[in-house]
A and B are shown apart, each in its own frame.
Chain A
Amino acid sequence: MIRVAVVGAAGFIGGELLRLLVGHPEVEVTAAVSSRFAGKRVDGVHPNLRSATDLTFCPADDVDEYDTVFLATPHGAAMAQIERWTGHSKQVIDLTGDFRLEDTEVFQRYYRSSHVAPHLLGEFVPGIPELHRERLRGADLVSVPGCMAVAGTLSLHPIRDLIGPEAHLDARTGSSGSGATAGEDNLHAFRSGAMRVFAPTGHRHEAEIARHVGVRVTMTATGVEAVRGVQTVCHVTPKPGVDEKAVRRAFRERYRDEPFVRLVAQHRGRYRYPEPKILSGSNFCDVGFAFDEDTGRLTTIAALDNLMKGGAGNAVQCLNIRMGWPENLGLSFPGLHPV
C-alpha cells in the first residue's frame, strides 16, 4: 500500500480523486486537504462516499510524508506551493493548469499571470498515457492536462501526419468543469437551459492541444446543460490523397492496445459517434470521425467524463503506470446506460 494525499479535496476533482482512491486496492488515502472544510467529515461534502471513508479534511499545515500527492487546487495555488509538496512526497501529480505548458511566454498569454516556478515547467511529464507512457513510468512530477485538451488531443494526435497545419475545435462542457466554487454566473437560474459560449476564442486548452499535436489550434468552448461530460468536434483539412480508410486505419492502429480509448465511428446504431452521456463515471475517451469526400473535410469527435479521463481518472491511470500496477486498477467502471 502507498500513502497518498489529495490537496483541494473538497472540490469536484478532489472528490472524484477520493472516490477512486479510497476504493483503490493499493492505496491508502491518509490526508484529504481542504482549508475551507478542515475538521469536517469528507462524506459531508462528498455524500457519495458515505460508509466508504471516515476521513476528515485537514489543513495544509498538518501534512505528513506521502508517496504521492495529488494537487486539485485552484489554478495558481499549485505553483505557489510546489516546493512544499515536493518536499513532502516522492511523487506529485498536479491536476491544475500550472504546469501544463512548457513555455513561460505562452503560459503568460493564456493564464494572464507570470509563472512563479518557471524552472519546473519543463520537469513535469504530461499526464497523457497514450502519448507519454514510457516517460510516465519514471515520472515523479506529472501534470494532468485539461479535460477538453485531453479530448482534443486524443482526437487529433493519431492523424496529425494526415492533416493540414490548422485545426478548429468546438468544445462542449458540463457545469462541473466550472468547479465547486463557480461564481454567480453558474447559478441554476442562469445556467439551466443555456448553451453559453463562454470562450468563443482563445481558450487555454488551445495551447495544450497545439503543444501535444503539433498543429495550430483555434477553439470555441460552450457550456451546456449536462453536469458531467465533454465533447469536442474538431474540423481539419486532410492532406491530398488521404481517404476515410486511411484515417480509420490511423485511429485503429494508434489505439488498438489502449485500455481507455475506443474508436467509435459507426455507420449504424443509436450512438454512432462519441457521446459523453454514456461515459459518466468511466475513464474512457471515445474518439471518432466523419469524412466528407465530396468537400474534402474531416471532422473528428471525442467524448469523455471531464472529472474522470478529463481529470481524476487520468491522474489515477498515471499513478498506476508509475507504480507498475495494471493500468485499469480502480478504473474499470464501464459507465451507465441508460442514464
Chain B
Amino acid sequence: MSDCPQCTDEVSISDSARLNEIVECAGCRNELEIVALSPTVLALAPEIEEDWGE
C-alpha cells in the first residue's frame, strides 16, 4: 500500500510493481507514477509527454 499524493487514499501496489509503472488511484482516479521502490513513492503522472505510451 502507498498513499495517493493527490487525495491521500491508499493505493494498492503489487509486489511485482516496477519503477515508472503507472497505477490508478481508486479514490480520485488520477494516474500515478511509481517514482521510487522500497519504499514505494507515487507521484502524479504527467498527463501528456512526448513519448507517452511508446
B9:A266 contact, CB within 8 angstroms: no
Residues 20-36 of chain B, each 1 if its beta carbon lies under 8 Å from chain A, else 0? 00000001111100000
A248→B9 CA distance, assembly (Å): 9
Nearest B residue to A244 by beta-carbon distance? Answer: B7
Q: Which residues of B contact A248 (CB under 8 A)?
A: 7-9, 27-28
* A249 CB contact (under 8 Å) in B6, B8, B28, B29: B8
Q: Are A269 and B7 in contact (CB under 8 A)?
A: no
A-B contacts counted at CB < 8 A amount to: 27
Q: Are A268 and B29 in contact (CB under 8 A)?
A: yes
Instruction: Report the interface size for chain B: residues with CB under 8 A from the other chain.
Output: 9
Q: Considering only CB atoms and an 8 Å cut-off, how many residues of chain A contact the other chain? A: 12
Residues of A within 8 A of B9 (CB): 248, 252
Are A263 and B29 closer than 8 Å at their CB atoms? Answer: no
Q: How far is the CB of B46 from chain A (nearest CB, A)?
A: 14
Query: A265 contacts the other chain (Cβ, under 8 Å)?
Result: yes
**Contact in complex: A267, B28 (CB < 8 Å):** yes
CB nearest neighbor in A for B6? A267
Q: How many angstroms between the C-alpha atoms of A248 and B30 in the bound complex?
A: 14
Nearest-Cβ distance from residue B5 to partner chain A, whole angstroms: 10
Q: Which of A240-290 contact B (CB under 8 A)?
A: 244-245, 248-249, 252, 263, 265-269, 272
Q: Are B29 and A267 in contact (CB under 8 A)?
A: yes
Distance to closest chain B CB from A242 (angstroms): 14
Looking across the interface, which residue of chain A has its beta carbon closest to that of B30?
A: A267
B31 and A263 contacting across the interface, CB-CB below 8 Å: no
Given contacts A245-B7, A248-B7, A249-B8, contact A268 B30 (CB under 8 A): yes
Residue of A nearest to B26 (CB): A266
Residues of chain B within 8 A of A265, CB atoms compared: 7, 27-28
- Cβ of B8 and Cβ of A245 under 8 Å apart? yes
- Which residues of chain A are near B7, meaning CB under 8 Å? 244-245, 248, 265
Which of chain A's residues have a CB closer than 8 A to the CB of B31?
268
Q: Verify A266–B29 contact, CB threshold 8 A.
A: yes
- Chain A residue numbers with a CB within 8 Å of B6 are 267
B29 CB contacts on chain A under 8 angstroms: 266-269, 272
| Complexed CA–CA distance, A249 and B4 (Å) | 12
**CB-CB < 8 A to B8: which residues of A?**
245, 248-249
Within 8 A of B (CB), among A28-66: none
Q: What residues of B have a CB within 8 angstroms of the CB of A272 in the complex? A: 29
Task: Output the nearest chain B residue to A249 by Cβ-Cβ distance.
Answer: B8
Establish whether residues A252 and B27, one from each chain, have CB atoms under 8 Å apart when the complex forms.
Answer: yes
16 sampled A-B residue pairs with Cβ under 8 A: A244-B7, A245-B8, A248-B8, A248-B9, A248-B28, A249-B8, A263-B27, A265-B7, A265-B27, A265-B28, A266-B27, A266-B28, A267-B28, A268-B30, A269-B29, A272-B29
> Which 6 pairs between the two chains have the least Cβ-Cβ distance?
A266-B29, A268-B29, A267-B30, A267-B28, A248-B7, A269-B29
16 further contact pairs, Cβ within 8 A, besides A248-B9, A268-B30, A268-B31: A244-B7, A245-B8, A248-B7, A248-B8, A248-B27, A248-B28, A249-B8, A263-B27, A265-B7, A266-B27, A266-B28, A266-B29, A267-B6, A267-B29, A269-B29, A272-B29
